[in-house]
Structure 1
Amino acid sequence: MADFMKTDYSNNSGNSYEPLPTGTYEMIINNAKENATQSGAETLQIDLLVRNDLDKVPELAETNAKYHNRHVFMDNWKRHATNQYDLDGFQYILQAVKVPEGTPLKSIDDFIKLITGAAVSVYVKKEDNTYKGETTKVNRVAPWNFSETKFPDVQHEYKKSSKPAAKQTASSGKDNQADPFANNGDSVDISDDDLPF
């Protein structure tokens, strides 16, 4: 009888839940949503997902190749003095996803729709965080640590549970090829010339 398998732990290095090592990662903005703490502090939390389609890129051997499919969460807290988000910080993210200059955004929902599903390059820092006398390692991402992706041809394969709600990139305006029928609830206009009958 043939063996069922042979143990091989060489690929286990990136599967821990420890914070990612400091470095620049090619990521997808997997999701963004508003949250609040029990004390009422409000945040826009951005879920960044390390792309899994760049394992063979030599310059990403120590980042994406080792840590693909890992999530990093970035909180953007409302300022206590104004009860508003730091909109200047959001500009860096919008620029990284290539939203055209002068694009009006009427709400935080507009911002979320424009960034969700977009590929970006992100500098992630691993640092100490002390809370109630206990120091742990955490990942930090600042808005100015976002830049345009160096790899715009996204071939990332999503796990079913982590697929972004919106799959539209601001730069192309086209739906992701993985789901050509997704329209995010918008109406679809089809002319008679487009119909085969």
Structure 2
Amino acid sequence: MSLITTNYAKNEHQGYSALPTGNYEMIIKSAQEKATQNGAESLQIDLVVRNDLDAVPALAKTNAKYHNRHVFMDNWKRRATHQYDLDSFQYILEAVQIPEGTPINNIQDLVNALANKPAKVYVKNTKDNYQGEEREVNQVAPWNFNKSDYPQVQHTWKDQSNGENPFANNQADPFANNGDQIDISDNDLPF
């Protein structure tokens, strides 16, 4: 018996072109710190075009056409200070509706505050020249984040990586509604 039989009928070939300029309803999949080989550091935000709004007529040319596409936004640390421009994060935090006065104590708090939050994002399609080759890229500025017009998120992830709920695809959660108490004495613990 074979492991797999090739069948390409369900493959989605969307290409690698940049998204057209416009407003997209997106969800922040994740954020993480990254560094280049030269040591430049950034907080990279992975934005995904939401797939739960395909039926909204006003989004037929954006979300319905480009759902599940990723746009990465880098917030670079300033060379002079080796610190992030914290003011730019305020636009993003406001857009994802983090309550005014909420303390964000460190980068991990910021990452946690942004994860899986919706926002309406203006994505700009621009030309970039990298190593002598001109290509289309997407750019997102922090001030181009706004509150989502559709705050109730029903986006379904294509995979279960990056901390998404492993039980989201109707798999049974073995610990859900488990009201049973577990009694363990100190003698049963290995430490």
**Offset, 1:114:** 0.2
CA contact (8 A) 1:29 1:48 kept: yes
> Which residue does the alignment assign to 2:185?
none
**Offset, 1:153:** 1.4
Cα-to-partner distance string for 1:80-128 (whole Å, 9 max, x where unaligned): 0000011010000000111111111110100000001001110000001
Matched residue SS, 1:26: strand
- Taking the aligned partners of 2:76 and 2:139, their CA distance within structure 1 comes to 13
Matched residue SS, 2:19: coil
Q: Cα 1:155–1:179, aligned 2, differ >3 Å: closer, same or farther?
A: farther
TM-score (norm 1): 0.76
> Which residue does the alignment assign to 1:145?
144
Structure 1, unaligned runs of 5 or more: 1-7, 168-175, 182-193
1:83 is aligned to 2:82 = yes
> Which residue does the alignment assign to 1:165?
163
> Which residue does the alignment assign to 2:100?
101
> Which residue does the alignment assign to 2:55?
56
**Offset, 1:15:** 1.4
Matched residue SS, 1:114: helix
- Taking the aligned partners of 1:165 and 1:120, their CA distance within structure 2 comes to 19
Q: Cα 1:143–1:76, aligned 2, differ >3 Å: closer, same or farther?
A: same
CA contact (8 A) 1:116 1:164 kept: no
1:42 is aligned to 2:37 = no
Matched residue SS, 1:139: strand
The AA in structure 2 aligned to 1:73 is: F
CA contact (8 A) 1:29 1:47 kept: yes
Structure 2, unaligned runs of 5 or more: 1-8, 182-191
- Taking the aligned partners of 1:155 and 1:126, their CA distance within structure 2 comes to 27
The AA in structure 1 aligned to 2:163 is: A
> Which residue does the alignment assign to 2:128?
129
Matched residue SS, 1:66: helix
**Offset, 1:152:** 1.1
Q: Cα 1:81–1:15, aligned 2, differ >3 Å: closer, same or farther?
A: same
How many positions carry a matched residue from both structures? 166
- Taking the aligned partners of 1:105 and 1:68, their CA distance within structure 2 comes to 31
- Taking the aligned partners of 2:156 and 2:118, their CA distance within structure 1 comes to 13
Cα-to-partner distance string for 1:17-36 (whole Å, 9 max, x where unaligned): 10000000001100100010
Cα-to-partner distance string for 1:121-155 (whole Å, 9 max, x where unaligned): 10000001112332111000000010111011111
- Taking the aligned partners of 1:179 and 1:102, their CA distance within structure 2 comes to 38
Q: Cα 1:55–1:154, aligned 2, differ >3 Å: closer, same or farther?
A: same
> Which residue does the alignment assign to 2:4?
none
